[in-house]
Amino acid sequence: MTTKREFLKISLVGATALSSVGALSTALAEDKSVNHVNETIDNKQTDIVQKPVVVSTWEHGLSANRAAWQVLSVGGKAIDAVEHGVKVPEADPSVMTVGYGGYPDREGKVTLDACIMDENQNCGSVAFLQHIKHPISVARLVMDKTPHVMLVGEGALEFAKSQGFKEENLLTNKAKAAWQDWLKESTYNPVINVENHDTIGMLALDKYGDLSGACTTSGAAFKMSGRVGDSPLIGAGLYVDNDIGAATATGMGELMIKTVGCHLVVEMMRQGLSPEQACIAAVERIAQKLGDYKKFQVGFLALNKSGEYGSYCIQSGFNYAVTDKSGEKLLDAKSILS
């Protein structure tokens, strides 16, 4: 059995020497509810770069990818593709976990978090932003036009207005009804609930071989006022290193924040792991470190410099959309719990 210390040593020498990413610790290895994934690992390494390609979280990623593909397929840049792509669910009121029509917090306010990162390590972010339908475009302007990375709350709103964004009511009747229903009991129990989370995180590799990513969300439904999740936090909900790869996340943001999950995924790819292996390693880090992880969902999605992608999650049920020259598909992620 591989001890934790031995695993760390192995991971430093790279994926080829790594016989089992699943055998991280005795506790995990002996836990019958945990899937042991050594047979399922895609250890393929290739020199052929598959580009352009765009991947994004959940089924609403399909329509978002279509918009991103409009940019990528005509030679556009990954950074423009990811911004264009995630604006689709931001504007779609039927997606109740992102942008306009998103579930409000416990005070009935729709508060949005988003971030974006390009191939030059530039990044921009907004958090606790209200009344603006496209937080990702405000994040883009924080990146492009300010010396800062992150603006929050009133400051983010004032900045958005200064850039010409109009204030709008983002609380749809449907989201308001769901909130009023929740108010009857007002119990906040952010367990597995796959319906009440569903951030869009998108990663793209363009024809020039450059990577970028975007992540945008209304956060956990009926969250405490002022709560900010992983999605606007560079390193937690999104990370891009143009030499290596990119990663994004969805699910209970507190778990990604505690482990700086997306940075971890990219660093695992730097050590030679495939995107899927890197996502497995990050979920297993959560499982090792955070005792209550079985109550929650977390899904990681990664794309490397060769255009290879992979994913992994805690609970089954997370899927992701992939679009490239061959078309589009929706894939189910493997999970650590059955």
Among the listed residues 11, 56, 125, 199, the single contact to ligand ASP using CB under 6 A: 199
Task: For strands 298-304 and 150-152, give the pairing.
Answer: unpaired
Amino acid at 91: A
Q: Please say which residue, 216 or 242, places its beta carbon nearer to ligand ASP.
A: 216
Asked if 141 contacts 159 with a C-beta cutoff of 8 angstroms, the reply is yes
Fill in the per-residue mask, 203 to 222: x = in contact with ligand ASP (CB under 6 A), - = not in contact. --------------x-xx--
Q: Please say which residue, 18 or 302, places its beta carbon nearer to ligand ASP.
A: 302
Among the listed residues 89, 245, 253, 261, the single contact to ligand ASP using CB under 6 A: 253
Among the listed residues 60, 197, 263, 285, the single contact to ligand ASP using CB under 6 A: 197
Q: Please say which residue, 220 or 333, places its beta carbon nearer to ligand ASP.
A: 220
Asked if 229 contacts 85 with a C-beta cutoff of 8 angstroms, the reply is no
Q: Is 2 in the site for ligand ASP (CB under 6 A)?
A: no
Cα-trace Rg, the chain: 19
Report the distance separating Cα 256 and Cα 249, nearest Å.
8
Question: For residue 194, what are its two tokens?
Answer: 């796959």
Fill in the per-residue mask, 313 to 332: x = in contact with ligand ASP (CB under 6 A), - = not in contact. --------------------
* 248 catalytic residue (yes or no): no
Under 8 Å CB-to-CB from 267, ≥6 apart: which residues?
A: none
Q: Is 229 in the site for ligand ASP (CB under 6 A)?
A: yes
Number of residues lying near ligand ASP (CB under 6 A)? 13
Report the distance separating Cα 109 and Cα 103, nearest Å.
8
Q: Is 105 in the site for ligand ASP (CB under 6 A)?
A: no
Question: For residue 240, what are its two tokens?
Answer: 């891009």
Question: Of 57, 199, 259, 323, which is the active-site residue?
Answer: 199
Helix (H) or strand (E) segment spanning residue 140:
helix 135-145
Which are the catalytic amino acids?
Answer: 199
Residues of this chain that interact with ligand ASP (CB under 6 A) are 197-199, 217, 219-220, 229-231, 250-253
